[in-house]
A and B are shown apart, each in its own frame.
Chain A
Amino acid sequence: SQQGEEDPQALSIQEGENATMNCSYKTSINNLQWYRQNSGRGLVHLILIRSNEREKHSGRLRVTLDTSKKSSSLLITASRAADTASYFCATVVNYQLIWGAGTKLIIKP
């Protein structure tokens, strides 16, 4: 069963704007990861945040984790057309990756 739930299911913004996606989960985790999937391709790992971390950055990506609320957010700053993709969160629980349903992000030029 899926533990993570992304919000929103779909997001459409103008190029240059920031995009924020959220993920909620149900049980205690070892870490939480975000992945991107371009249409027709496999998922690509973006960033991993451990349960004892609160914020992590990688380029234009910023991930936060609130274990008390069992939620995480992924912020993409200064969005580009190439950021158009589906974004998934995955939680690691007992050496299993538990996936959310994904957020479909469309960047309009």
Chain B
Amino acid sequence: DAGVIQSPRHEVTEMGQEVTLRCKPISGHDYLFWYRQTMMRGLELLIYFNNNVPIDDSGMPEDRFSAKMPNASFSTLKIQPSEPRDSAVYFCASSVGGTRGLEAFFGQGTRLTVV
């Protein structure tokens, strides 16, 4: 398996534009997590899905952020409109629940810069 695949790796956009980040989890994993990492705030959980259903989105900072998982092999995180304070590295991770204890496999991340 190629692991968790995120695209794009880097994104530079102007304030006010819509940004869409994409994630392909590992096949067979039933949990998918979106994280944001900054120097100031560290690693923050934004939202996670179980079997394609959003379970907890309490970490989504504002209504400008939305996430979808239309099927088991694809998820998107959208920011509309984007703001400079959204600049961060966004990670997607997937895992298997149950006896595997939620060992998380991370993608390489998308570095977002909003200017």
Interface string of A41-65 (1 = CB under 8 A from B): 1111100101000000000000000
Contact between chains at B103 and A33 (CB < 8 Å): yes
Contact between chains at B106 and A43 (CB < 8 Å): yes
CB distance from A35 to the nearest CB of B (A): 8
CB neighbours (8 Å) of B101 from chain A are: 30-31, 33, 48, 50, 92
Q: List 22 A-B contacts (CB under 8 A).
A: A2-B42, A31-B101, A33-B101, A33-B103, A42-B91, A42-B93, A42-B106, A42-B109, A43-B43, A43-B93, A43-B106, A44-B106, A48-B103, A92-B101, A92-B102, A95-B50, A95-B97, A96-B45, A96-B56, A99-B42, A99-B45, A102-B43
In the bound complex, what is the Cα–Cα distance between A37 and B102 (angstroms)? 18
- List which A71-109 residues lie within 8 A (CB) of chain B: 88, 90, 92, 95-97, 99, 101-102
Number of interface residues of A (CB under 8 A): 21
CB neighbours (8 Å) of A102 from chain B are: 42-43
Interface: B105 (CB within 8 A): yes
Known: A33-B101, A102-B42, A102-B43. 19 other contacts (CB 8 A): A33-B103, A35-B104, A41-B109, A42-B91, A42-B107, A42-B108, A43-B93, A43-B106, A92-B102, A95-B31, A95-B55, A96-B45, A96-B48, A96-B56, A97-B33, A97-B45, A97-B104, A99-B45, A101-B42
Contact between chains at B105 and A45 (CB < 8 Å): yes
CB distance from B60 to the nearest CB of A (A): 15
In the bound complex, what is the Cα–Cα distance between A41 and B102 (angstroms)? 20
What residue of chain A has the Cβ atom nearest to residue B102's Cβ? A92
CB neighbours (8 Å) of B50 from chain A are: 95
Contact between chains at A45 and B103 (CB < 8 Å): yes
